[in-house]
Amino acid sequence: MMTRRELQVAEEAARAGGAVAMRFFRKDPAVSTKETDGKVTAYNLVSEADVAAERAIVEVIRRAFPKHAVLGEELNGGDGTSEAVLTAGDLWVVDPIDGTNNYVHGVPHFGVSVAYYQGGEAVCGVMGNPPRDEWFLASRGEGATFAGERVRVNGNPRLEDALVAYGYYYDRGAMMEATLSAVRDLLLREIHGVRRMGAATLDLAYVALGHFGAYFEYELAPWDFAAGRLFVEEAGGRVTDGRGNPLPLARTSLVASNGLIHDAVLDIVAARHPATAPDA
């Protein structure tokens, strides 16, 4: 069971990671590519800032809870997503810079995410938008807050009146084609618009804040949504996988919404669900 201590540590860790990210931002940090699904692509980037920020986050967590497990995208993401790790009694899931492509190109839209899980269930989480010094906090059963105020998803019941965000994974084959087909289907419904912002953490935050009616993506890693899914749920929204099933803490598709337009978005997303998705 969570105490206020876990949420305080999550916020301290997220802010520490965000501070490191901002020290490197627009200062040409060293950048390399990393493996995706067994192959290296030229567009799945990692910077020295990602690694340094994650170390800062993990240091805060380890100092407070030395016996807790930590799953981070950069330090152990490659082999740290086993069932044993993801269902650990006390697990912290960390994304130091969500939106690295934005980051390395100097675009001030990227997030940091720190979440605490017990037995595979989200307990609390903190996300940040470091360039804007914006911080989003959520605790299971206690609501979601931004700038000290409780937040709620919007109350729009019509898909046609929604702004919908989406993303796509580094697969530029079948998964990208499926995503773009789903986007086309949404636009043919004459919705207000679609947005690809490039940071899942902030897409989820904006659903919770009511800016977006929904957000979908056909493949995300656990660290991409570990805190964000809780933030949406505690703001009154709904989060499932791309077929409407409960969201696992694993590589998965994801649909998040205000709840009122969830089924309408799911109809489109599920119809285009690619065979290459992790939950196909």
159-272 CATH fold: D-Maltodextrin-Binding Protein; domain 2 (3.40.190)
Mean pLDDT (the chain) is 89
- Sorted by where each begins, the domain ranges of the chain are 2-150, 159-272
Overall average pLDDT of the 133-137 stretch? 98
pLDDT of res. 26: 86
- Cβ(274)–Cβ(177) under 8 Å? yes
Residue 97 labeled ligand binder: yes
- Cβ(259)–Cβ(233) under 8 Å? no
Nearest CA to 116 out of 70, 74, 148 is that of 70
> Residue 275 above 90 pLDDT?
no
Residue 279 labeled ligand binder: no
Residue 61 labeled ligand binder: no
Q: How confident is the model at residue 37 (pLDDT cuts 50, 70, 90)?
A: very low
pLDDT of res. 261: 99
Overall average pLDDT of the 20-39 stretch? 68
Residue 98 labeled ligand binder: yes
Residue 160 labeled ligand binder: no
pLDDT of res. 209: 99
CATH superfamily of 2-150: Fructose-1,6-Bisphosphatase, subunit A, domain 1 (3.30.540.10)
Residues 168-177: tens digit of each pLDDT: 866 678 888 9
Range from 21-25, 73-77, 86-90 that averages highest in pLDDT: 21-25
Residues 186-240: tens digit of each pLDDT: 999 999 999 999 999 999 999 999 999 999 999 999 999 999 999 999 999 999 9
Sheet of 238-240: strands edge to edge? 193-195, 163-166, 214-220, 252-257, 238-240
Q: How confident is the model at residue 43 (pLDDT cuts 50, 70, 90)?
A: very low
- Cβ(70)–Cβ(92) under 8 Å? yes
- Cβ(161)–Cβ(192) under 8 Å? yes
